[in-house]
Amino acid sequence: MDQLLLIGLDFGSTTSSAIISQAQVLRNCSTGRFELGRRSVVYRSMLTFTPFTNNLIDEQILAGHLDRWLRESGVTPGTFTSGGVIITGLAAQKANVAAIEALVKQRVGDALFAVAEDPCLESWLAFMGSCLALSWAEPEAHFLNLDIGGGTTNLAMGINGEVLRCGGLYAGARHFQFVPGTYRINALSSYAVRLLKDLHIDRSIGDTFSQDELRNIVDFYAALIEATVCADRSLLNQDPFRYHEQMPFVPVRDDVSPVITLSGGVAELVYNHIRGGPLPPTTAFGDLGIDLARRLIQSPVLSQHLRTHVPMNFGHATVYGLSLHGTEVSGTTPYLPDPAVLPLRDLPIVARLRMDASAASVPSIEDVQQAVDMAARGMRGGCIEIDGAGTDFGTVKKLGTNLAAALRKTGFPGDRSVVLLVPQNVGKTVGSYASDWGRLPVKLIVIDELSSRNSRFVSLGAMRDNVVPVSFYGMQ
């Protein structure tokens, strides 16, 4: 099959970057499913500072970055099959995020899923982009990746390449910004203002931190990250720590001692210094990144695996994960009467229903009806995810007829779509029964051979080579 082109764009609190990769649709010889394989990077941009003007992302400068990246890559924008844009950390809290998403769409097209603030997805992407190979190499070990950027620290714990837990902190390098070469403050995030108050440090923009004040701030961030890694709720539930917890991280088990890896811009400073390189001079980047890196190296909790387990990509980890691992492909038997309805973006996954290998275990008509009713209320419709191993004819037929009855009773709006995701290659069969063999006037799509990612939203790309690219986000 032809190569598919995928793009990943990451706009963060400190830096922005792009990765363009290619992949081929292959059949897995073990499972028989189609999947994306032979992935490779065809273009990687240089990291560039995310442009801010008057506390907003500067759309004109960012548009220039996008145009330059596309020009340098030599890729025609309309040829992208899928990919994504993720706006992270403090950048995700700016008022013009929607305008940035529209700006990307104008240049790259509808094939993308777009995400603003989604700490679980960011954690998962960073894990996949940094320590996936390490995790595969030691399949029995738990790995905990800390993606430390400008605004957030995102945590993901996994085993054998599968992420099991995620979490997020408002801990990063650019909550405090300085005149480069000094500790004179020229910008503070709302979290920084709150932290100064809680630490009883009477400083504001234009003031200069003393060494003791600086040490107290950096020690706080180190203690926050250490307490999260160690699941010390007695500390995290107290002020000022709880104010900086974006999403609680819950370990798999209390007795697990994971291998800790780092990614993100701060990680790049850490690993470079561990390899013998010098740290840049005082506040060379105008933030706390260098001081935070130095403090993490001193932490007995966070530094124990820095020399034995070195991940890949560092500052590019999130965008690598986004480009190379953010998209899956369907099987070749989807129910898709009109391929022109694709692409579909940002459909909420409104329900998850279980279907095991017997007709008695098919979701009840009441559960199916509730799911269809919720899908009908979505602005563009909704998605229903089916989990389980049911593939025999009786099970599949009963699911399809229950769906048909629910769609008929709801009177599903003709301008909206209902998408069904099923794990086995039964898409056409389920769709035929659910649509009453095409007699129901409903935009029904059944995508098969997909494993659940426990996400909240899904986007479908245009069909290519008889398969549909599928992107999940809003991970739980």
In a domain, 211, yes or no: yes
Class of residue 70 by CB neighbours under 10 A (exposed 0-12, middle 13-18, buried 19+): buried
**pLDDT given at position 294:** 97
123-169 residue pLDDT tens: 887 888 788 889 989 999 999 999 998 888 999 999 988 888 889 99
Domain end among 95, 117, 139? 117
- The predicted-structure confidence for 178-222, as pLDDT tens digits, reads as follows 999 999 999 999 999 999 999 999 999 999 999 999 999 999 999
pTM: 0.70
Residue 26 lies in a domain: yes
Asked if residue 343 and residue 277 are part of one domain, the reply reads: no
Please check whether residues 102 and 127 belong to one and the same domain. Answer: no
State the CB neighbour count (10 A cutoff) for residue 298.
11
Q: What is the reported pLDDT for 114?
A: 47
Kindly state whether residues 354 and 393 are assigned to the same domain.
yes
Residues 204 and 308 in one domain: yes
26-30, 141-145, 159-163, 422-426: range with highest mean pLDDT: 141-145
With respect to residue 84, please indicate whether it lies within any of the assigned structural domains: yes
Domain ends where: 314, 343, 367? 314
Residues 99 and 169 placed together within one structural domain of the fold: no
Asked which of 3-7, 215-219, 262-266 is least confident by mean pLDDT, the reply is 3-7
Check if the beta carbon of residue 50 is closer than 8 Å to that of residue 69.
no
Which among 86, 117, 148 is the end of a domain?
117
Say yes or no: 15 and 154 in one domain.
no
> Do 89 and 195 lie in a common domain?
no
Work out the average pLDDT over 307-320: 72
CATH code, 17: 3.30.420.40
- Helices (H) and strands (E) counted in the chain, each on its own, are 13, 22
Question: Residues with Cβ < 8 Å from 34, sequence gap 6 or more?
Answer: 25, 26, 27, 28, 329, 330, 331, 332, 449, 467
Work out the mean pLDDT of the chain and round it to a whole number.
85
Report if residue 320 sits inside a domain.
no
Give yes or no: residues 432 and 458 share one domain.
Answer: yes
User: How many whole angstroms from its chain centre is CA 353?
Assistant: 24
Residues 299 and 404 in one domain: no
Give the single-character DSSP code of 241: G
Segment 1-26 shows an average pLDDT of 79
pLDDT digits (tens, 9 = 90+) for 214-261: 999 999 999 999 999 999 999 999 999 999 999 899 887 777 899 999
Which of 33-42, 193-202, 397-406, 417-426 is the most confident on average?
A: 193-202
pLDDT for res 220: 98
Kindly state whether residues 213 and 98 are assigned to the same domain.
no
Shared domain for 156 and 240, answered yes or no, is: yes
Strands 162-169 and 153-159: antiparallel
**Taking the mean position of all CA atoms in its chain, how far away is CA 7?**
14
Residue 299 lies in domain? 121-314
Q: Is residue 295 situated within a structural domain?
A: yes
- pLDDT at position 64: 92
Asked if the structure places residue 321 within a domain, the reply is: no
Is the pLDDT at 366 greater than 80? The verdict is yes
In a domain, 322, yes or no: no
Residues 310 and 369 in one domain: no
Structural domain count, the chain: 3
Judged on CB neighbours under 10 Å (0-12, 13-18, 19+), 413 is: middle
Kind of pairing between the strands at 153-159 and 48-49? unpaired
DSSP classification of residue 353: E
In a domain, 284, yes or no: yes
pLDDT at position 322, please?
Answer: 61
Q: Tokens 């980890």 map to which residue?
A: 317
